[in-house]
Structure 1
């Protein structure tokens, strides 16, 4: 599948953040629901006085209610339109966009860059507190309250058995034609002095509901309802377990997306589109 920029167009990288509370996720949807992609594309069309909607490609398609601090997207714009607006585009977008979505950088992307396929990892944070009094009112939109005491050491012990390349079918909402094989590079928990516990979850890519399902399973370990080896047993079984709950989205934030050096972008772009399988498993679509 070719990803060459069409002649007469320039690929532009956007770095952005948003509060997901009032969005129905990243991706445009039928029915007029408010989405991050739709909002930014509308703003781009307006500030460039264009009659065309130029579609964004994003590094990670977040679900409804999920936040992003370090999201990355790209858009291919006509060269003359980019030349005309590039110097003032960032400020004009700031004036047009709602305050719950901000673009921090708009720049011509290096050759071979694709916001989705060139990425080598995405890092999410899920924040939860077990404070008996609940969540700090100023953090309530970004921290889950768990009303059982949590053992962070037990959750870290259980997390270790999930790191690596696996088929995460047991922790993903299945989508036709999509593989659930992922490489989980980091899964760890840390409690800060305020009592907020943050899960850091880093992988080459994520399948639908993967982070929130993993967190749900590990909270069951942390509060003593399941033993530390249980999440890895669920993973090995390879099927959805009704005991694994998908936790609420508001505690989840996409923190950062990682890319290789510029000279490796095109190769990564191509590699990420390849079919992927584990030894002994049938190959699924990318």
Structure 2
């Protein structure tokens, strides 16, 4: 029986989810997606791999997952639909899923594609309303309300010190046996047309709570509680400190994940599955 690998691009409002990953007795995005796939494909159990596990309350516009399915199962699930089987799968999933999860696209990809390990980079955005005019009650579940004005120029100066290949242990919740060495290629703040302050961060990968810890650090600097050099000082410390506040999940969204071309997938897997060490710094 020939199997095919399917890539699915989806988005979700994380407000009513206990994060991405399966948790017994709790509503999670993974549980909802796997349940819907099981119904659509008429399989008792379906397992998916995602590009990045989001925490409770975190949103996604550009989450990517993959799964393997027997080709005949995929074809049979489409029935007499006048569209390709993967297009029929998208329609079925969106008919099964609750409105806070939407599938945008599904396609067959090479067997070497891995939603997690093939990724070149992930892009997150964190949104903060620090003025009454910027606060919109219609986006209250996706934008953090901050009671004091923020100096974005100072925050960007501090953010520049956090770029590059570094050990981000100071900004991560420790996980046994895991490394906190990451390459951050973009980290900056800007205001949109409503005045909402948005932090954009791009890295090859993120460790647990890293983005929200970066936000918490820079918010403290932006409102004047900490000096502009504090972020660099914390980075050099390379140990987790309670001084760095983990910002609310509410303002965080996984926006996009970047992948190499199909002919570079195998090489990418070799790179990302190799554990990083201090010698690389």
Match of 1:34 among 21, 27, 39: 27
Q: Which structure 2 residues correspond to residues 1-286 of structure 1 after superposition, within 5 A?
A: 8-30=2-24, 32-51=25-44, 53-85=45-77, 86=85, 87-132=87-132, 135-279=135-279
Aligned partners of 2:163 and 2:186 also within 8 Å: yes
CA distance in 1, matches of 2:260, 2:41: 31
Structure 1, residues 172-202: CA drift from partner, whole Å, max 9, x if none?
Answer: 0000111111001100000123110000010
Aligned partners of 1:111 and 1:262 also within 8 Å: no
1:267 aligned counterpart, secondary structure: helix
CA distance in 2, matches of 1:251, 1:65: 9
Which 4+ residue blocks in structure 1 deviate beyond 4 angstroms? none
Unaligned runs of 5+ in 2: 78-84
CA distance in 2, matches of 1:193, 1:101: 27
Change (3 A) 1:63 1:215: same
CA distance in 2, matches of 1:88, 1:182: 39
CA distance in 1, matches of 2:213, 2:60: 18
Compute the RMSD of aligned alpha carbons: 1.3
1:254 aligned counterpart, secondary structure: strand
Alpha-carbon offset, residue 261 of structure 1: 1.1
Unaligned runs of 5+ in 1: 1-6, 282-286
Structure 1, residues 239-276: CA drift from partner, whole Å, max 9, x if none?
Answer: 11221100100100000000011100111012100011
Q: Which has the higher helix share?
A: 2
Aligned partners of 1:111 and 1:266 also within 8 Å: no
TM-score, scaled to structure 2:
0.94
CA distance in 1, matches of 2:193, 2:3: 50
Q: How many residues align?
A: 273
Aligned partners of 2:134 and 2:196 also within 8 Å: no
Alpha-carbon offset, residue 133 of structure 1: 6.3
Alpha-carbon offset, residue 127 of structure 1: 0.2
